[in-house]
Every structure is written in structure tokens, then in C-alpha cells.
Structure 1
Amino acid sequence: GHVADLRGVGRLEAQLTALKAEIDALPKLPSESHLVLRKILVNLRRLAGRLGELEQFFDAETIPERKSRLDHGLFVSHQPIDPKIFWSNLTLGSVVFRHSLRVAFACVFGYLLTRLINYGEHSYWVLLTIAFILKPAFSLTRERNVQRIIGTLGGGLFGVAVLYLVPGKEVQFGIMVLCMLGTYSFLRINYLAMVCFTTPFMLILFSFLGMPFLELAQERVFDTVLGCAIAFGTSVLLLPSWEADQLAGHLKGLLRANGSYLDLIISALEGRKVSQLSYKLARKELYVQTANFSASFQRMLNEPRNLQRSKKHLHPFIVLQHILFSNMATLATDLLRREPRVHAPVLVHSAQKALRTLQSSLSRLHAEKEEGSKEGAPAAEQAPAAEDSLMKEQLDYINQVCVDMDKALRNLGL
């Protein structure tokens, strides 16, 4: 029954074409704009296209054509085993090398300190805390510090309460098993929950081995606080890595991904066929670069205020990036859904103008200006066809967003 309903997609396309003609026939007043109606029409066309895809999916005649699939291995990042990668990181400019030095120094310092203090029989807890807490980014280290201390104190109180208030060994053993399951269940999901389950699990386990649990809980808290203090101090004082210093690299990757995505749109406007594989790879790269830049900005906000850079200018830039991506994705989806054809030169020129703006922004972050692949000569301004008028408005809006991003980038001072 549902498949039969989808047979009306062709009639829906005809109705949408008639609706577009009615919108084009509306009088153009200076105080009114039909851009909202045109955007609604674009969304309706996208819905009609998806319904058409569903109709083809359930059509028995097209099932053999769906056997070909994209090479999903291209969407996964691969790290080759190359000695050059190791040697290239043996420099203080490498974030990985600096983090390795911090971890090594913190562990050696923690080991020597536990030998001098000689407190308790489980001083290795200090080293385990340092290894788990210390992260390449300061904000992640601080977050893990807070979670580790809260989880240890909360779990320690729960474990002591169980050992004091629950007399039966069988019930204590059942609680210990549940805590063990919670520890390994949340190991890679929620660090705070994992620590809350680990502490009572260890206390109950060691109490079964005949150790005094109250002294054990005190030692556990002391070792945790000591390890957190060493890790936090090392992340601040020894070769710290601040997110503000990494913003330029994330910006370069983001602008390159924007340019590659817009380059595909230009190819489609010029009548060249764009494969689904190249389009999805460019879209995936833009997703990744946008997420990396946004995550870096959020981590910077958790760092000391005196080290945060251009915070009031970065937030508008991120908002503009999301606006740009959504508009380019809408335009690209509409272009790839249609048969390839050469569009009006004014449309190509508008897209090339936006691309040149992105390349200009990227060149500002480089010592040398990068060479553009699609600049070309400016096209003669001429009115586009009626069916391309909405696309011209979208491209002009994309170009304006690129200009606004370039202005925001100038204010960043990177």
C-alpha cells in the first residue's frame, strides 16, 4: 500500500513546477521578498526527490542496480607504519612529543615522591592516576582531575558504607560483582561513572583479602589526590599545550575543506559530472574539520582566561561556518540530483567569487598565497534564467557569508 502511494511522485513534481511558476509570477514589491517562498519550494523539491528514491528502492526492476556500493575504506583514516612519522615527532614543536615528556616526567616524579613519603602499600595508585589523568590538552586534564576526585570520594564513601552497614559477606560479594560490571561497562563511555564503581569494587575486594578497609580508603583518597595534583601541575608548568596555539592549524583545514566542497559545486555548475564518491568524501572532510574546530574552541574556553584568544570573534566565525555549510549542502544536493548541464555564466562567476574569498582567507594564514584552481576571468553580468534565479540568490548569499567569515578572520589576529 505504501509503495503504491509513492507512485504519485511524478505528479508531485509537476505540481511543484506549477507552484514555482506561480511564485515567479508574483509581483515584486520593494518592501517584500519571495526568498522564503523559494527556499520552501527547494525543500519541497528535496522531499520529492527523497520520495522518488524510496520509490526506486522498492521497485523490483531497480534492485540489481543497487549491488554496487561505495568503497567505505576511503572514509576511514589510515595511519601507515613509517619510521619517518616517529622521527618527525622528535621535536618540541610536536604536541605528541611534548605530551610524552610530560607523562614521563610526571610518572618519574610521582614514583620518587612515593618512595620518599613511603605511605601505604599501594603507591602504584599514584602512577596509575597520573597515567589516566594526564592528557595532551589542559582542559581534558582538568576535567579528568575533577572527575577522578569526585568519583574516588563518592565511591569511597559508598564502599565504606557497604562494608559498615551490610554484614553479610554474600551480599557484599554481590555488590562487588555489580561494581565490577559497572567499572568495565563504563570504562570507555563515562569516566566519572567508571571511577565511582571502581573505588567500592577495590575496597570490597581488598577487604575480602583481609586488609583494613578504612585505612585502605584513606590511602586510596590520598594517592588519588596526590596523583591528580602532580598531573595538573605538570600540564600547566611543563611544556603546556594551549588550544589557542592550535587554532590556526584547525582554521587552515576548515578553509581547505570549504574550498574543496565549493569546488565540487563549481564543477556541477560548469556541467561536469560529479561522482557520489568524491562528493561524499568532500562532505565527510568538511564535517570532520568543522567538528575539530568547534571542539578546539570549546576546549579553549576551559583554559585560563588570560590564555584565551579572540573569544568574541571566534564564536561568530563558528556560527557563520555552520550557515555556510548548510547553504552549500542544500545547493550541492539540488545540483547533484539533476542531470548535468551547463548553467549560466553568472552562476559560475558567483561561486568562483566565493571560492576566491575562501582562498584569500586561507592565504592570510599562510606565508605564501595558495594557487586557486577555479578563479578564471570574471563572467559578464547577465540575468539568469527564471529557473536559476533562486540558485543565483543562494550563491550570492553564500558569497556574502564567505565575505563575513573573511572579516571575522581578520579580527582574530592569528
Structure 2
Amino acid sequence: MRGLRPQPAPVPWAAVARAAVALAAPLAVGLAAGRPLYGALVSMGALSGVIGDTADAYRMRILNIAVPQLFGALGVTLGSLVYGEGWAAVGVLTLVALVSGMISSIGAVASASGLLLLLNAVVGAGLPMPSPWWKAPLLLTLGGAVVLVLTLLGWPLRGGVPERSAVAAAYRAVADVLAVAGTPAYDEKRQAVTQALNTAYDLVLARRARDRGRTAGLVRQLAQLNALIPVVEAAPAAHLSGRPLPAEVPAAVRALAAAVETADGPRRREPTGGSPLGTHPGPPGTPGSPTTPTGPLTLPLPPPATPSERAVDHALRHAATVIRHAEPDPHNIDDLLGRPASLRIRTRRAIRDALLSHGSWRYGLRLALCIGLAQALVSLIAVPRSYWVALTVTFVLKPDFGSVFSRAVLRALGTAAGLVVAALVLAEVERGWWDVPVMLVLAALIPASTAKGYAFQTAAITPVILLLSDWLNRQGFDLVLPRLYDSLLGCAIVLVAGYLLWPESWHTRIGDRLADTVADAARYVACAFGPEADADPAARGRARRRLYRDLSAVRSEFQRALTEPPPTGTRATAWWPLCVAVERIVDATTAARVRVSHGAPPPTHVEVADVERQLRELAAGLRTSHVLVEVRAELEGDEEGVLAPLRQEVRAARAIASPQPNRP
């Protein structure tokens, strides 16, 4: 039911305009040239480009649009070669589905490429394409090129703007979390900080997809992001102190965000005496610590009154130093997520992972089974416009896009709603020039509806595809009911063969993912307070960033599992509080580390080892239990010490994990 509520997302007006032009213009050109079929095929290729244009940074948009189009050209070529070949088409599409599913596990671009490979293969095998064989892939690819050209028109004027905006958004998210420190709203805002940091690092590091070097803009944005990390680390300490921060603190962070967003050109280097960029500044007064900013660097911050406020104050002044004065040293920037390898090495790793990963084989076989069943069924039973069955299976059975169960239900409902619009268009609008303004309106609805949810996207895409398909087969209103039957049949195949009868649906892996995260939290405790904690603060920062990123992925997987029917949804509901507890454990560890860095007595090795041992036992219990685990011995330690809040969070997590009456 939540999927049927429109998400509160703004309308992407630029994407709306691009979609309208990219789909309507080829149709108009085709009509003017007397080749409406060619125009419809170019518009189909443009539709794939519009759906795949989901990135913000221009370099990533090139990959997201161009690479899948190449796979789509290959797919339609393979499909057209087996058009009308019966069981040969079943075998070829099943094999393509296996390959599509396996490469989808590599990453976002590979997932879109695998999707378009299979979609176009199904279309090529189900619709007559113009001869010779190379014409259809060329026209479809031309449609993607149209979208790519329209997308890149703004690059000369807005180059670097998405990256700067993402970094500034991360600063604003941190300002929001500092504004609610010490209040119940902290947890929600901290999750927004994690998401904002993930987005910013992904966009900035995406600029190095091909080049491992460091441009001035890249170095500056990495330095600004890295300078934000000490502020993020100080936030849990401020929250656990129970005392709200002065209003000037979040206001200062928002001022820094504005400075990041309006930054233009290289900064002059000034001898600030600050800590090396890419490392975490030490406590005030230690060598290499920026204690007193100079000149216009001064922030309107009140004098700090507590250790947590001193940590926030010190981190903010360091961030201001980086943003407003220093031009970073390109050889002293820590990427926090690891410096990317060369393109050749990453390609080899991706191919190896796709071939050897259990997950890629599981999804590939699952998709191949459903596509094979769909094609075999329509080969044995006369189903009008039968290629829609396999198309529906392809769209729905994408676990990396969300819950398979909810997507099947939402697609059926969205298709039914879209067919109402399609029926009006096909019944009342005669094929010809009137299709151009109609396509202009319908295409504009696709990006606007995509931001609202999957059911709304499906409802917007359905009439566009039917209108374009009618140019290929000229069936008019007679397309509507077969489209509904085929979609419902495809959803049923996914729900039965791809969900109900698939073992993975009933033996969810969320417990294993949560156990891995708890084990990582234990390693983070050891890293934060172990003998190497002070020697390599950058390594601690990398460990913390990876852990928060993993927690964000686990949270997304849990939210996906919550929409599944029992037993998966019920089990996810029971485990959900423990997922939140693990996030608080990481926050408490970070806060304790900040307190130690600012003068608090460090914990003893015995205390650290005890907390680490309890977390490892909890992780082991989660892996061996299908439900929940037994609570072990109580944690011992100084209740006034720096690890007291951490021990309290560990106790809470173990209490949540213990079996209780009436709990699933």
C-alpha cells in the first residue's frame, strides 16, 4: 500500500523537457520523411535512454545512457535473428536471460545494460523488424544517441555543478543532524547524512571512472568531503551528551555548504598550519592541529563548553580552513573508500565476479527460468502479442530494483491504470501527425511519474509503448486487452516461479547480512581503540565510512524485505529493531573515540576486548539462528568510563536479539 502513495519528490523539469523532445521529435521526423516506422523505432530507443538517465554527474550519465544502448543493439539483433522460429527463440532468449541476470550483479551500469539486452532481445523476437538486419539496432541506438545529445547540452554550462551540489548537500545534511543532536529526531537525520555522503562520494569518485589522475576540481571536492568527516564523527558525541548544540553551530555548517556550492576556480594556498588534508585533525594543541584560524576564516561560533562541543568546534574550523583557504595537496588526499584501480583491472575483476559469484548465478538462473517458462508457454498456447509476457517478467524480476513481490503487484496495478489512458489514445486519436503532440505529453509524464514511484512509472510508460508498438503492427485498440492479459500472465509467472517456488524467497539472507555488519562493528571497535588507533587515523575513517555505507545497504535490504509477505516480511519486522541498534552501536563507538581524542581517559584493553567479544558472539549467533539468539554473560566495566554508552547500546542490542514470547 505504501507503494501506491506518491513519493514527495520534486518534478525534474529538465528531464521532463528532454523526454518530451527525445520521444516526439523522432516520430515527427519519421512522419515528415514518410518513414513513420523508422521514427517509432528511434523513439523506442529514446525511451530506453530516458528511463536509464538516472545519474546526476555528466560523466556517469554518459555511461548510464551509452553503454546500455550498445547492449540493447546486440539484444535486438539476437532477437530478430530468431523471430518466428518457435523453440529456437525459446532457447536463445533463455540463454540471453541467463547472461543478462549474471552481468546485472556487477553494478548499476551493468544492471541497466543487462536489462536492455534482454528487453530488446524479447522485442526483436516478438515484433517484425525492418530489413536488413542492421537497421533496427541502428535506429534504436540512434534514439539513445538523441537522449545523450540532449543530456550533454548543459555540460558546458553546468559542468561540475552536480558534484558541487552533492558535496554542499552533504554539508547541509550534517547541519540538520547537528541541529537535532540530543533529540529523538537524531537517528532519522543521521541516516540522511549517510545517504548524502554516499551520494557525494559516488559522484565525485565517478569522475575517475577512466582517469586515475587528480584534477584540481576533483582534489578540492575530495578535500571538502574529507574535511566534513571529523564533523560527522563529532555529531554522535554531541548527541550522546544530551545537551543541544548552540544554534550558531548548524548555521555555521550551512554557511560552509553555501561556500562549497558557490566555489569557483582554484584556491590560493596559505600557510594555515592545519593538519594534512585527507587525515583527521588531532585534538587541539597537538602537533599539526589547526587551533586558530586566520583572517576571514573565523566562524561565528560560541566558546565550546563541553568536550563534545570542543570536538564539533575544532572539526568545523578545520573544515572552514579547507574550504576557504588551502589548495589541497594532490598527493595527500585520502579517498576514504580506496583509490580506484585502472579500468583494465576493474573490468577483469567485474568479469571474474560475474562468473564466480553465487549471487550472479542465482539471479541469472532465476531470470532464465522465468523467461524460459514465459516463452515456452506462449509457444504452446496462442497468446496475442505474446512478447509482452516476457517483457513483463524482465521488468518485474529485478531484485536490485526492489521487492519482487511488491513490484509484481504494483506493475499489474500500474499497467491497468496505464491501459485506461492507452485505450483513450488508441480509440480516439488517428495514427498520423496527431500522435506527435500526444507523444509530447505522454513522454513528459514518464520522468515526472518515475519520481513518484514504480506503479506511477509503469502507468506512464504503458501508453507510450502501446502507441509506438501500434506503428509496428497497426492493431489499434485491439492492443489494449492483450496487453492487460499478457502483463497479468507475466506477473503471475514471476510470483509463482520467480518468488513462491524459489527457495531464496523463503530463506531470506537478511540475518546473514546483519551478522556481517555486527562483525564489522566489532572490528571497528578494535580499530578505534586498538594500538594502531592513533597511528593511522585515516584507516579508522575509512573503516567508519565503509561500515556506515554497509549499514545503509542493510537498511535498504530490510526495508525491501518488510514489503514481502510472511515469513520474510514477518522475520524482517522482528529483526528491524536490531538493525537500528547496530547503527547506534557504531555511533556510540565513534562518540567514544572522539571523546578520547579530546582528552577523555582511554578505555582499558580489557574493556575493549570484552565489547569486541560480545559483538562477535552476537554475530555468530545471528548466523546460526533462523530466529533470534540467546543473551550471554553481562558486559563488565566502569559505568562512568568512556565506553559506558557503548556498553549500554551493546546490552540493548543483545536484549533485542534474545528470544521473547510471541516473537516470530
Using the size of structure 2 for normalisation, the TM-score is: 0.46
Could you give the per-residue CA deviations for residues 335-364 of structure 1, whole angstroms, max 9, x where no partner exists?
45x5xx8x7465554333322221232343
Partner residue, 1:264 = 527
2:608 alignment partner AA = A
Could you give the per-residue CA deviations for residues 56-77 of structure 1, whole angstroms, max 9, x where no partner exists?
23675x5465763113661779
Q: How far apart, in 2, do the equivalents of 1:358 and 1:73 lie? A: 24
- Relative to structure 1, the CA distance from residue 345 to residue 210 in structure 2 (aligned partners, 3 Å threshold; closer, same or farther) is closer
Could you give the per-residue CA deviations for residues 277-322 of structure 1, whole angstroms, max 9, x where no partner exists?
x123211221133223323333333333245565565233123222
- Relative to structure 1, the CA distance from residue 57 to residue 102 in structure 2 (aligned partners, 3 Å threshold; closer, same or farther) is closer
Partner residue, 1:213 = 476
SS class of match (1:305): coil
Which residues of structure 1 form unaligned runs of 5+? 20-40, 368-377, 384-388
SS class of match (2:512): helix
Partner residue, 2:383 = 119
Q: How far apart, in 1, do the equivalents of 2:503 and 2:565 lie? A: 12
Q: How far apart, in 1, do the equivalents of 2:351 and 2:328 lie? A: 46
Q: How far apart, in 2, do the equivalents of 1:57 and 1:85 lie? A: 38
Partner residue, 2:576 = 315
2:406 alignment partner AA = E
Of 403, 408, 412, 2:656 maps to 408
Q: What percentage of residue pairs aligned between the two structures are identical?
A: 20
Partner residue, 1:30 = none
Deviation at 1:158, TM superposition (A): 0.9
Partner residue, 1:283 = 544
- Relative to structure 1, the CA distance from residue 409 to residue 73 in structure 2 (aligned partners, 3 Å threshold; closer, same or farther) is closer
Deviation at 1:250, TM superposition (A): 0.9
2:619 alignment partner AA = L
Q: How far apart, in 1, do the equivalents of 2:351 and 2:331 lie? A: 40
Deviation at 1:88, TM superposition (A): 4.9
Once the two structures are overlaid, the 10-residue window that deviates more, 282-291 or 158-167, is 158-167
Deviation at 1:365, TM superposition (A): 4.9
Q: How far apart, in 1, do the equivalents of 2:397 and 2:316 lie? A: 51
Does residue 74 in structure 1 map to residue 338 in structure 2? Answer: yes
- Relative to structure 1, the CA distance from residue 69 to residue 218 in structure 2 (aligned partners, 3 Å threshold; closer, same or farther) is same
Of 301, 317, 329, 1:52 maps to 317
The 8 Å contact of residues 350 and 399 in structure 1, kept in 2 or not, is answered as no
1:402 alignment partner AA = V
Of 270, 273, 280, 2:535 maps to 273
Partner residue, 2:616 = 359
Deviation at 1:164, TM superposition (A): 3.8
The 8 Å contact of residues 404 and 499 in structure 2, kept in 1 or not, is answered as no
Q: How far apart, in 2, do the equivalents of 1:161 and 1:151 lie? A: 16
Partner residue, 1:140 = 403
Q: How far apart, in 2, do the equivalents of 1:88 and 1:224 lie? A: 33
Equivalenced residue count is: 356
The 8 Å contact of residues 336 and 541 in structure 2, kept in 1 or not, is answered as no
Say what the alpha-carbon RMSD is for the aligned residues.
Answer: 4.1
Partner residue, 1:255 = 518
1:273 alignment partner AA = A
Q: How far apart, in 2, do the equivalents of 1:325 and 1:59 lie? A: 31
Partner residue, 2:425 = 162
Q: How far apart, in 1, do the equivalents of 2:614 and 2:581 lie? A: 14
The 8 Å contact of residues 445 and 460 in structure 2, kept in 1 or not, is answered as yes
Deviation at 1:230, TM superposition (A): 0.9
Partner residue, 2:647 = 399
1:274-353 map, 5 Å? 274-276=536-538, 278-307=539-568, 310=571, 313-335=574-596, 338=598, 344=601, 346-353=603-610
Using the size of structure 1 for normalisation, the TM-score is: 0.70
Q: How far apart, in 1, do the equivalents of 2:573 and 2:440 lie? A: 50
- Relative to structure 1, the CA distance from residue 332 to residue 114 in structure 2 (aligned partners, 3 Å threshold; closer, same or farther) is same
2:613 alignment partner AA = R
2:502 alignment partner AA = L
- Relative to structure 1, the CA distance from residue 400 to residue 153 in structure 2 (aligned partners, 3 Å threshold; closer, same or farther) is same
Does residue 201 in structure 1 map to residue 464 in structure 2? Answer: yes
Q: How far apart, in 2, do the equivalents of 1:6 and 1:83 lie? A: 49
Which residues of structure 2 form unaligned runs of 5+? 1-254, 256-293, 625-634
SS class of match (1:242): helix
Deviation at 1:246, TM superposition (A): 0.9
The 8 Å contact of residues 533 and 540 in structure 2, kept in 1 or not, is answered as no
Work out which of the two has the higher radius of gyration on C-alpha atoms and give 1 or 2: 1
Deviation at 1:42, TM superposition (A): 4.0
SS class of match (1:236): helix
- Relative to structure 1, the CA distance from residue 67 to residue 53 in structure 2 (aligned partners, 3 Å threshold; closer, same or farther) is farther
Q: How far apart, in 1, do the equivalents of 2:653 and 2:499 lie? A: 33
The 8 Å contact of residues 125 and 224 in structure 1, kept in 2 or not, is answered as yes
The 8 Å contact of residues 243 and 297 in structure 1, kept in 2 or not, is answered as no
Deviation at 1:204, TM superposition (A): 2.4
Partner residue, 2:298 = 7
Q: How far apart, in 1, do the equivalents of 2:391 and 2:572 lie? A: 35
Does residue 192 in structure 1 map to residue 455 in structure 2? Answer: yes
Could you give the per-residue CA deviations for residues 140-180 of structure 1, whole angstroms, max 9, x where no partner exists?
21122122222222222112223444569434322224434
